[in-house]
Each structure stands twice: as C-alpha cells, then as structure tokens.
Amino acid sequence: MSPMSARRYFGTDGIRGVAGAAPMTADFALALGGATADHLWDRLGGRPAVVIGRDTRRSGPMLAAAVTAGLAARGADVIDLGVMPTPGVSHLVRALGAHAGVVVSASHNPFDDNGLKVFGADGAKLADEEEAELEARLDAAAAGESAAAPRTGVDLGRVQRYRTDEGHYVRFLLGQAPYLDGLRVGLDCAHGAAFQLAPRVFQQIGARLDVIHAKPDGRNINDGCGSTHPEALRARVLAAGLDVGVTFDGDADRALLVDRRGRLVTGDHILAICAVMRGERAVVATHMTNLGTERYLADRGIELRRVAVGDRYVLEALKAAGLHLGGEQSGHVLFLDRAPTGDGILTALLVLAACRASGRPLEAWVDEVPVYPQTLVNVRVAPSTKEGLIAAPAVAEAVAAAERALAADGRVLVRASGTEPLLRVMVEAATQDAVDHWSEHVAGAIRHATGLLAAAGDPTGNDAPAGNDAPAVPA
C-alpha cells in the first residue's frame, strides 16, 4: 500500500474540509502545529523556524492562530506572514531560511472550506513519507500515546509578524517580469490572497490596471470570480477594451489569462507558448490537456508527457525526467527553474514576457494553438463510491463505446475529484456535437449506476444525489 492510499488526512494537495468540522477544526490545527514542530525538532536536532500564511477566508485567522499555537507550544519559532499567496509562502520559506512553511487555504474551493498545507525547507510540498509521519504523530497524540515531553520557559517558541515592507517575494516577482509599457491589464484577484500583492507588482512594471474582485470580506473568495469563473474577467476585458486579463484563484497558485478578444487562455495555451519560447524538448501535462496542444507541440518537436491530474504528479514527473516546464489546464503551471511550486502571478508574468520576446501579442498565439472541443461534466456522488463507480461495468462500457466512436480524434477520461465528492467526465472530440453526445452518454451511465447503488440500499447513496453536474475548471 502506498503512503498516499494509506493516509487519513492528507490528500493530493494538503488537508481540506469544511472549516469548523472535522478535520478542519482549531483543535486539529493545534495538533498539526505540534506534530509539525516535533517532526522538525527530531529531524534537525534543534529549534525549527516555520513561516505561516493564509488566504482571506473568515476561518483563516482562527486556523492560523491554532497552528501557530501548536508550533510555538512545541518549541518552533513562527513568522506570521498574514495574508499571503501560497507561492509567496513557498518563496519566503527559502528567502528567510526557515525550515518549513504552513499555508492555511482551500485554494479555489468555496469560502466555507479551508485547508492546511505544509512545505519543506525547499519550498516544495512535503514528500509522501513525511506527510505519513505527521499523520502517525497526530494519531499517537490523539490516542494519548505521544512520548514528547512538555516544553516550558525558554523552550517555548517565539512568534513574530513578518514586515511586508521587506518585500522578498515582490522583489523576486519583479525580477521575472517584463516591462509592460502602458499595456492595459485587467486583474481579477478572486477576493483572495493576491488582492493587494498582484496589483502592486503589475503597477510597478508599467501596466495600466483595471482591477476587479479585490475587496475580500471573508466570505466572497472565489464567489463568481477568479479562475474558476473567468467569465467575469472576459466580460470586463471586452467592455473596457483591455489588452489582456489575468485571473487568479483564491490562493494565487494558478492563473488563467484572457486575450483582447475575450478568449480564455488556459494552462494548455500557457504551456504551448512558454515551451516554444523557452526551447523545451519536452513538457509534462495531465490527461486533461487538450489534444490540440499535444499536436501543436509535436509539430514543433516538443514531446508532451501525460500524467494523472494533480500538480503533485506533474511535479514528480518533471523531477524524474529532469524537466522544468509542466502544468495543468486549470492554470497551475510549474517553472521549476524559477520556483518549486505553482505560482499564478509568476505564470502570468512569464507568459507576458514570452509574448514580448516573440514580438507577437497574446491573441496571435491563441490563433495559432488549436483547441479541440472539450467539455467537463461533474456528477455528484457519495465520496465512498467514487472509485467503485468508475469501475462499474455499465460505466466502463459507456467509456469504451465513446473511445471506439472517437478513435484517434478524441479522448474520454473519467476521474474522481481529489477535493470534492464528484466524478469528472471529460470528453474531447473533433466536433462539438460528438463532445455533447458522448459526455452525456458517459455521465448518464454514472447517474444510472449511482441510482442502482441507492436502490440496493447503499447508505452512502443518499448523501450525494446523482445528476448534480455543472461545467468546471478541473481541480
């Protein structure tokens, strides 16, 4: 059994849940802080330093305070970054010489969710083995089996606030940025962690800014805005006659762009543009990446290697092959020669820099990169049934029928969301009619199989009714 399959708390992107409900409670956050501090003490043989940042959710201060208390109680010094994009926390772990970082964020999820993510000293997510060790410590503490001695007096950790005017992360971003020379840029900050920092960076590189969704109130993060709802920015770009738009998710580790014609520039476009301009020999993408992107890159001698959906798997494949560029259609793109984690602001800056270097505007690139019609349908299911439904005979046959009909000019993918109780059905084909027909065929088979489970008396069939589906940017 792999560490991933054996774990109770950590998923593909940290720990997530509804804030206030297990495991996303103050008590759990306190315990995680303590387990992290003990883990680091044992690794280092001395006092660790940990940075912590959060997004703008109402539950963020509560959970950040609890993690901080757990860390300090177990002897770790804590630097509180306040509201900070996830990639900013990653950068500051390294810039400040800390031994770990903690992010309190649920990224693109609704505001009532929250999450906890732990970075190592290199600014990257902890390895599977380290996350498994944290889980073992959490379980031991909950069972009263922890052998750790209490810390008192000078052995307790110190807590201090980061002085944002020191600007380590901003300086890093400006060092990667082109001068935009009055380019009219729209920014959708998703009422999230980038609401102050992104406008500051783009203003300093000469953009004429039109900023929307940059007034967080603790509840409006990702609400009808940001990278999961790019239609808001598309409308603004067209209405205001902007040259380009950039939209982030709640923790700003991903970005999508909009060209001046209002067309969405996905992570697939970003990979294609940057791979060509950087002269890459190969890139890593996921099974969601558009077939048009793969063929466009192949025509230019660039191999596209596919992995399972999730930036964790993209990162693993990049490191294993010694490659630098990879990412997801959702706009989570990795430039490993620049940063160890996805960074939405950095991604946007590097795309605009590539366009400047090419002498061609963004819309010219969008014209050139083909996009096959593709749809993503979400079918809500009970969490415990996700894998079983994928393997159900009727669902497998529906997928096989679609693959036979589409042949080399299309693809079908059914996968379980790593963060929500959903099965995601992706269908890609040469025509929109084929996409619509086969996506409904496969989604219908899943709904039917879900109904059969409920009729058979499966107690999990009632808490996730079938048929609740909607288009979505993949998680």
Checking if the pLDDT of 309 tops 70, the result is yes
CB atoms within 10 A of CB 290: 24
Query: Residues 114-158: pLDDT tens digits?
Result: 999 999 999 999 988 999 999 999 999 888 887 778 899 999 999
Mean pLDDT value across the chain: 92
Checking if the pLDDT of 166 tops 90, the result is no
Query: Residues of CATH 3.30.310.50 domain(s) within the chain?
Result: 374-462
Q: Specify the pLDDT at position 420.
A: 79
The winner for highest mean pLDDT among 30-34, 421-425, 470-474 is 30-34
| Dihedral, 354, 285, 10, 24 alpha carbons, nearest 10 | 50
Instruction: Report the pLDDT averaged over residues 39-59.
Output: 97
pLDDT tier, 277 (very low <50, low <70, confident <90, very high otherwise): very high
Checking if the pLDDT of 464 tops 70, the result is no
Checking if the pLDDT of 46 tops 70, the result is yes
Token readout for 75 is 């002897």
Query: Residues of CATH 3.40.120.10 domain(s) within the chain?
Result: 3-166, 168-368
CATH superfamily ID and name for 374-462: Alpha-D-phosphohexomutase, C-terminal domain (3.30.310.50)
pLDDT tier, 456 (very low <50, low <70, confident <90, very high otherwise): low
Q: What is the pTM of this model?
A: 0.88
CATH code, residues 168-368: 3.40.120.10
Instruction: Report the pLDDT averaged over residues 97-105.
Output: 98
Q: CA-CA distances (angstroms) from residue 298 to 272, 294, 393, 414?
A: 10, 6, 35, 25
| Range scoring the smallest mean pLDDT among 11-15, 163-167, 391-395 | 163-167
* Secondary structure, 3-state, the chain: CCHHHHCCCCEECEEEEECCCCCCCHHHHHHHHHHHHHHHHHHHCCCCEEEEEECCCCCHHHHHHHHHHHHHHCCCEEEEEEECCHHHHHHHHHHCCCCEEEEECCCCCCCCEEEEEEECCCCCECCHHHHHHHHHHHHHHHCCCCCCCCCCHHHCCCEEECCHHHCHHHHHHHHHCCCCCCCEEEEECCCCCCCCHHHHHHHHCCCEEEEECCCCCCCCCCCCCCCCCCHHHHHHHHHHCCCEEEEECCCCCCEEEEECCCCEECHHHHHHHHHHHHCCCEEEEECCCCHHHHHHHHHCCCEEEEECCCHHHHHHHHHHHCCCEEECCCCCEEECCCCCCCCHHHHHHHHHHHHHHHCCCHHHHHHHCCCCCEEEEEEECCHHHHHHHHHCHHHHHHHHHHHHHHHHHCEEEEEECCCCCEEEEEEECCCHHHHHHHHHHHHHHHHHHHHHHHHCCCHHHHCCCCCCCCCCCCC
Cα–Cα distance measured from residue 291 to residue 370, given in angstroms and rounded to the nearest whole number: 9
Instruction: Report the pLDDT averaged over residues 34-52.
Output: 96
pLDDT tier, 452 (very low <50, low <70, confident <90, very high otherwise): low
Query: Residues 344-383: pLDDT tens digits?
Result: 999 999 999 999 999 999 999 999 999 999 999 999 998 8
CATH architecture observed for domain 3-166: 3-Layer(aba) Sandwich (3.40)
Among all residues, which ones are annotated catalytic? 107
